[in-house]
């Protein structure tokens, strides 16, 4: 055999073997945006747990968490339109506000159904009435946290003008304001409220005493992007559903607790207290599988109408969601 013919045969053999060998599948890369106030908080638990347990990988996704620079929770949809990421963790009022202003962003999954925020005060503050004339740190004025705290104050006879309202974004920042003595009281989510209580601060009341259940945070995506990347969206929804199953699985308790510890830097006993609070609150804090309760969005819109952010007639809450990805993922339980 001539040298040239031998070389040709080897090349042909390599080509034949290569054709017969299946290509290694590449994971789909999806960018997930979180605000700085949500990152390393309890509200990052479902996605963090899905990452930890490999649920995205099993769906063939490489989920890249993006924390936009100088973008607060109220700008997450703006950054979504700027192509900073593909999916966004966003509080429902901000999604509604953006959509009413012309955004095509919609919710594809619920992340946190019904938050429990505690009004936590310095040790010398014994009751809500003692906050009169003092500095109270609120979240974004148009958000559901501030709304629930105003309702809680009103329940105890205080209007917003009876206190010195100060906007402080993010539970960790509000806890710092409380510790520095710059705020007499602040709303805190978990686990910071339980941690503060263990350190001598007082819990004066909780949001669930003052407002009905509502849908707090969702995964949002632009309709146009979701239509073009339907397979990636469905895989994301399926992976998130597995994380919610883990949260409810007693066999996974240690993993869930450890994830909370790593996210929020609290002792395991406090992390366990968070799960116990959610289980015993009588409220459905987490969705079963990421399903969207449209009535929960309707309640958010009612809050927004009461604060002048939405004008009557109220928009249809179904305008702000796209349920088909939950159906395609095999999730049931959506409540239109």
Q: Does domain 118-209 have CATH number 3.40.50.2300?
A: no
Of residues 209 and 21, which shows the higher confidence score?
Answer: 209
Q: Is 50 exceeded by the pLDDT of residue 321?
A: yes
Mean pLDDT for 312-327 is: 96
* In the predicted structure, residue 334 carries a pLDDT above the cut 80: no
Strands 185-188 and 118-121 come out as antiparallel
Lowest mean pLDDT among 19-28, 73-82, 159-168, 170-179: 19-28
Instruction: Indicate where the chain has its CATH 3.40.190.10 domain(s).
Output: 28-114+214-328, 118-209
Angle between helices 268-280 and 253-264 (to 10 degrees): 120
pLDDT tens across 286-297, in order?
999 999 999 999
**Comparison of pLDDT for 307 and 14, the residue scoring more:** 307
Residue 30: HSE in the Cβ half-sphere, 13 Å Cα cutoff: 29
pLDDT of the residue at 25: 59
Is residue 291 helix, strand or coil?
Answer: coil
Q: What is the pLDDT of residue 23?
A: 42
> How would residue 72 be classed by pLDDT, with cut points 50, 70 and 90?
confident
Lowest mean pLDDT among 18-22, 138-142, 149-153, 267-271: 18-22
| Cα of 119 vs its chain's centroid, Å | 20
CA distances from 227 to 230, 245, 281 (A): 5, 27, 38
pLDDT band at residue 71 using 50, 70 and 90 as cut-offs: low
Lowest average pLDDT, out of 15-29, 235-249, 257-271, goes to 15-29
| Closest listed residue to residue 164, CA positions, set 178, 185, 148 | 185
pLDDT in tens, 128-163: 999 999 999 998 888 889 999 999 999 999 998 999
Q: Taking the model in full, what pTM does it have? A: 0.86
Cα dihedral 291, 257, 31, 103, rounded to 10, equals 40
Check: CB of residue 125 under 8 Å from CB of residue 131.
Answer: yes
How far is 291 from 323, CA to CA, in rounded Å? 8
Architecture of the domain delimited by 28-114+214-328:
3-Layer(aba) Sandwich (3.40)
Q: What is the pLDDT of residue 281?
A: 81
Beta carbons of 108 and 192 less than 8 angstroms apart? no
């Amino acid at each position: 055999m001539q040298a040239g013919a031998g070389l040709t045969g080897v090349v042909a053999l390599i080509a034949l073997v290569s054709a017969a060998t299946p290509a290694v599948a590449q994971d789909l890369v999806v960018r997930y945006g979180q605000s700085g106030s949500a990152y390393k908080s309890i509200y990052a638990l479902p996605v963090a747990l899905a990452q930890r347990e490999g649920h995205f990988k099993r769906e063939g996704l490489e989920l890249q968490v993006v924390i936009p620079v100088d973008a607060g929770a109220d700008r997450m949809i703006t950054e979504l339109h700027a192509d900073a990421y593909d999916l966004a963790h966003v509080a429902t009022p901000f999604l509604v506000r953006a959509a009413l202003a012309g955004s095509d962003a919609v919710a594809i999954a619920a992340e946190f159904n019904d938050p429990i925020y505690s009004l936590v005060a310095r040790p010398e503050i014994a009751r809500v009435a003692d906050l009169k004339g003092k500095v109270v740190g609120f979240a974004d004025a148009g958000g559901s946290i501030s709304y629930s705290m105003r309702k809680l104050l009103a329940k105890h006879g205080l209007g917003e003008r009876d206190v010195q309202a100060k906007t402080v974004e993010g539970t960790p920042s509000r806890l710092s304001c409380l510790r520095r003595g710059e705020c007499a009281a602040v709303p805190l989510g978990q686990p910071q409220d339980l941690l503060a209580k263990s350190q001598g601060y007082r819990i004066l009341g909780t949001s669930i005493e003052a407002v009905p259940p509502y849908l707090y945070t969702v995964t949002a995506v632009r309709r146009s992007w979701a239509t073009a990347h339907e397979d990636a969206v469905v895989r994301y929804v399926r992976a998130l559903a597995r994380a919610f199953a883990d949260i409810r699985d007693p066999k996974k308790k240690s993993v869930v607790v450890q994830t909370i510890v790593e996210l929020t830097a609290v002792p395991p006993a406090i992390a366990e207290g968070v799960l116990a609070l959610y289980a015993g609150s009588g409220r459905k804090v987490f969705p079963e599988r990421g399903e969207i309760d449209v009535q929960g969005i309707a309640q958010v819109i009612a809050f927004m109408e009461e604060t002048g952010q939405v004008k009557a007639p109220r928009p249809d809450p179904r305008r702000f969601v796209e349920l088909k990805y939950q159906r395609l993922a095999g999730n049931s339980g959506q409540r239109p």
